């Protein structure tokens, strides 16, 4: 997420510069201090008030249970948290739990997400039927928690897909395409959750009047970049007799900008449209207009819509 986050901040017109060896990038706004940290840590640090805002993944907000306010879906860093097992398994996770218990075997799960894994596995019908409200045993190098050692979850420090069959029977892991799991002889048995990068805030900070305007500025800049990814800025020239028909066919943020050209009977029209509408509009544009120019906007800021609900 680091590179994508730096690119988003730069696209928002905040000048970001940093040394590869430094965790403290320079930012052009003297009222903002930023630091690069692991996404696993950020939700808790924001919750505790070390930072007013943070960018992390929904997976780590879920895993840590951090009590933070989500301000904006940043629409990058998309991954899935899945549960996977040997490709030869051919059974559902629900059935696997039943089989292990029936055969008196301990089910071992390796993961970087022990809390997500625990909540998922304990929600299965077979687990609830057999173990009731007992939570799986979670093991880390420092502590363990949970009552049910027959379903044990072991904290992984990476290369989770390599753990079966010696150290684990199943894994709960993050994936984009599932290719790495397949290359290690594993098959996805179920999707647990989807995740991507989000902007989060400390709940006290968003109620602090001394920080409100700066938080709204940052939110506006980042939302402008997010919205721009799904928009196109188009310019066309149109004859006067086709002008109203063209305007009627063009969706826009508020209304298209229309300017008279130096040539008599011609107008210039520019507007912002949803990117997905472009191909549908193209036949109409070919019939009604000339000289189409398309720009990819860097940012589109809906300034009047920027707000943060107080808590």
58 and 153 share one domain = no
On whether residue 157 sits in a domain, the answer given is yes
* Inside any domain, residue 127: yes
Q: What is the pLDDT of residues 66-82, one digit of tens each?
A: 999 999 999 999 999 99
Whether residue 90 sits in one domain with residue 185: yes
Same structural domain, 169 and 299: no
Q: Are residues 84 and 186 in the same domain?
A: yes
Any domain includes 310: no
- 70 and 84 both lie in a single domain: no
Q: Could you tell me if residue 189 is inside a domain? A: yes
Q: How many domains does the chain have?
A: 3
Q: From residue 197, give the alpha-carbon distance in Å to each of 7, 18, 58, 123, 200.
A: 13, 21, 6, 26, 10
Q: Specify if 311 maps to a domain.
A: no
Higher pLDDT, 299 or 238: 238
Which residue range is the domain that position 266 belongs to?
Answer: 231-305
- Contact, 230 vs 275, CB < 8 A? yes
The confidence score (pLDDT) of residue 311 equals: 65
Which tokens belong to 307?
A: 């707000």
The pLDDT assigned to 9 comes to 86
**Same structural domain, 183 and 202:** no
Lowest mean pLDDT among 107-121, 265-279, 297-311: 297-311
Q: What is the pLDDT of residues 103-149, one digit of tens each?
A: 999 999 999 999 999 999 999 999 999 999 999 999 999 999 999 99
**CA dihedral (29, 31, 33, 34) positive or negative:** negative
Whether residue 125 sits in one domain with residue 169: yes
Surface-to-core class of residue 246, CB atoms within 10 Å of its CB (0-12 exposed, 13-18 middle, 19+ buried): buried
**Does 188 share its domain with 85?**
yes
What is the rounded CA–CA span in Å between residue 255 and residue 106?
64
Q: Give per-residue pLDDT as tens, 158-177.
A: 999 999 999 999 999 999 88
Distance from the Cα of residue 105 to its chain's centroid? 37
Residues contacting residue 277 through CB under 8 Å, at least 6 positions apart: 251
Query: Is the pLDDT assigned to residue 43 strictly greater than 70?
Result: yes
Q: Picking from 21-30, 47-56, 138-147, 302-311, which range would have the lowest pLDDT averaged per residue?
A: 302-311
More confidently predicted of 82 and 285: 82
Q: Which of these three, 182, 211, 227, is where a domain ends?
A: 227
Pull the structure tokens for residue 184.
Answer: 């290690």
User: Among residues 169, 194, 219, which one ends one of the domains?
Assistant: 194
CATH number at residue 58: 3.40.190.10
Residues 94, 186: one domain?
yes
Contact 250, 278 (CB under 8 A): no
Residue 253 pLDDT: 65
The number of angstroms, rounded, from the C-alpha of 3 to the middle of its chain's C-alpha atoms is 14
Say if residue 68 is in the same domain as residue 215: yes
Q: How far apart are CA 265 and CA 243, in angstroms?
A: 10
Average pLDDT over residues 18-33: 84
54/140 same-domain check: no
Pair 97, 187 in one domain: yes
pLDDT value at 215 more than 90: yes
- The pair of structure tokens assigned to 121 is 């596995």
């Amino acid at each position: 997420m680091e590179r994508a986050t730096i690119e988003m901040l730069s696209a928002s017109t905040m000048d970001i510069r940093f040394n590869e060896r430094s965790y403290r990038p320079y930012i052009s706004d003297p009222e903002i201090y930023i630091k690069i940290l692991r996404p696993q840590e950020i939700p808790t640090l924001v919750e505790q008030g070390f930072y007013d805002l943070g960018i992390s993944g929904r997976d780590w907000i879920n895993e840590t249970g951090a009590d933070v306010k989500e301000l904006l879906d940043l629409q990058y860093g998309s991954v899935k948290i899945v549960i996977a097992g040997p490709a030869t398994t051919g059974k559902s996770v629900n059935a696997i739990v039943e089989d292990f218990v029936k055969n008196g075997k301990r089910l071992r799960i390796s993961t970087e997400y022990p809390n997500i894994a625990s909540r998922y596995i304990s929600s299965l019908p077979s687990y609830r039927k057999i173990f009731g409200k007992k939570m799986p045993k979670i093991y880390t190098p420092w502590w363990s928690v949970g009552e049910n050692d027959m379903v044990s979850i072991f904290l992984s420090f990476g290369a989770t897909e390599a753990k079966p069959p010696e150290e684990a029977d199943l894994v709960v892991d993050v994936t984009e395409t599932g290719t790495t799991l397949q290359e290690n002889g594993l098959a996805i048995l179920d999707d647990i959750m989807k995740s991507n990068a989000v902007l989060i805030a400390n709940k006290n900070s968003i109620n602090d009047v001394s920080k409100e305007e700066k938080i709204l500025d940052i939110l506006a800049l980042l939302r402008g970049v997010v919205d721009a990814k799904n928009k196109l800025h188009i310019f066309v020239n149109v004859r006067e007799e086709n002008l109203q028909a063209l305007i009627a066919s063009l969706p826009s943020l508020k209304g298209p900008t229309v300017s008279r050209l130096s040539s008599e009977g011609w107008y210039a029209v520019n507007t912002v449209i949803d990117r997905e509408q472009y191909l549908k509009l193209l036949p109409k544009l070919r019939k009604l207009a000339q000289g189409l120019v398309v720009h990819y906007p860097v940012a589109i800021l809906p300034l009047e819509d920027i707000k943060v609900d107080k808590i």
